[in-house]
Chains A and B, each alone.
Chain A
Amino acid sequence: MPPRPLCPARFRPATRRVRLGGPIAPIALIIVLSACGGTPPEETQTATPGETGPVTGDITVFGAASLTDSFTELGEGFEEAHPGTSVRFSFAGSSSLAQQILSGAPADVFASASPATMALVAEGGRTEGDPVAFVTNRLQIAVPVGNPGRVTSLEDFTDQDRTIALCAAEVPCGAASARAFEAARLTPAPDTYEEDVRAALTKVRLDEVDAALVYQTDVLVAGTQVEGIDFAESAAAVNDYPIAVLREAPNPAGGQAFLDFVLSPDGQAVLGAAGFGSP
């Protein structure tokens, strides 16, 4: 698939691998475009002091758990590009991170797995400028190797006899799952509401459930230990990942530089390789 300039004002044209499936792409595009809409790049530029000097020092990034692998890789790239910096990550559930930030945690950047959690932080007056969507993630059905429960579609999630894990409604992947089932007009019959997407995936890896609804990126991380199955209704539940520099950040210039790196073609390439979609 050729690279497409999705948010022309924000993103320089570059090679980006976008992993959106054919039939889903148009819908995804609409959502993604709407996500980019409200963020004029000038604002974030002007909100960043110390733009002139070189970026140095420690940069603290709070990232959603699903970003663990790709952000760690991004951090190494960033440190290479900006000698004298050191990026430190705190990965956890987005909601937990949001609570920590609202309680005054000294972070420079927050990358959330859901706009709702980012909204909590923004409403709390802790973001500097408006948050930007930097990737999307969509759901996939994860089944154990060999698909012992012979799960093929979302419809199989309504089967009482199959053991099913879903994310709890309180966490982003659970909210996304609920939207998917709504779109499919199905009522699932899960056996457990897992506290986060990785916990749901673990149940699949250990073959304790016949299927779980998780992010496509998590299926990729699990490699050969699980099998991913696409389903049509996933388009209705694409999740935006917003990122923002935080107010009262110890290193605002560093935070802004990291945010720019995430949105840069190099950054987007890393995220794309991990299975994230472009906003």
Chain B
Amino acid sequence: MSSQRSTPPTADPREAAPGGDLAAYLQVSRGALQLEVDLQVPSGQVVALLGPNGAGKTTALHALAGLLRLRAGSLTLGGRALDDPTTGTFVPAARREVGVVFQDYLLFPHLTALENVAFGLRARGVGRVAAREAAGAWLDRVGLADRAGVRPGQLSGGQAQRVALARALATRPRLVLLDEPLAALDAATRLEVRADLARHLREFGGSAVLVTHDPLDAMVIADRIIVLEQGRVVQDGAPAEVARAPRTEYVARLVGLNLLRGVGSGPVVSVAAGGVLHVADPVDGPVLVAFPPTSVTLHRQRPEGSARNVWRGAIRALEQHAHTVRAQVTAAGHPLVLADVTPAAVADLDLAVGAAVWVSFKATDTHVYPG
């Protein structure tokens, strides 16, 4: 086993992780899913794979971990080929320098927190005493030194998540994979654990791939977001870019934007779903137009004022959000738009499903970019 490893794992958590540039072109068939993802992650970068259920996020993670074989493509970590069907190369999971934080953490229920963290080191040949010492140091690092002797059943969700992280990092992997690491936590714990996780991943020197369906997790933790839909990459960019300029309906919904596809011609965009929009930045050719639901106002009467985009429609649905009500407005010959209004406005305007309303938003509130 050790002959396959360029750098043996060390017990000292302070030591820098070895170089972990990930270069992967994953092609995997799993049932109906045909996954095809190009994934280049330089050492030190945290990438979030964002996507709906069934998009292939977890499949991609399993391929990276060595729990699944590639059908085609290649996978190299720190210069070492891990999977390449053309040459018949396949390094099984146990011999990859990849740490994984699984969904539900999968801490071994029969072992204590310390034994869980020490497991990987013991499996990789570190002596019992040294492994326990290093595991203790890792638990200390994630703030759980006092829970070392506790079985997973007695740990809180947040604690279990941190033990799982310590277990994954203790073997000094070049790449760490995290599958929905925060999904099992309640909202309050999540906030705290999310910040901790972001910090630990920044300190971790290798590359990291995080799978999530929560855009906030992705925004806070990742340096880069790759959006997967139906096994394909539909968007790849910095979190701010993804949040500002979503490329698909799914991403737009996640980041809370109206997104319309159309063809630009100067200050006017012909929307594919019908109608025209007035935009601030003239663009020609296929474009995407994004604007926040908060910039859309609703009126009972045709509004007076400077808003260029005005039309009449009907309310199709009303959803209560934290402090606002989100209305879906449909109109023949115009795209469906979302509008966020205050509960007070709902009362004032007597809004209800089916009610006829006027929609208006300013051209300057739209963001137009090539589609």
Question: Do A and B interact directly, with beta carbons closer than 8 Å?
Answer: no
**Interface, chain A (partner B; CB < 8 A):** none
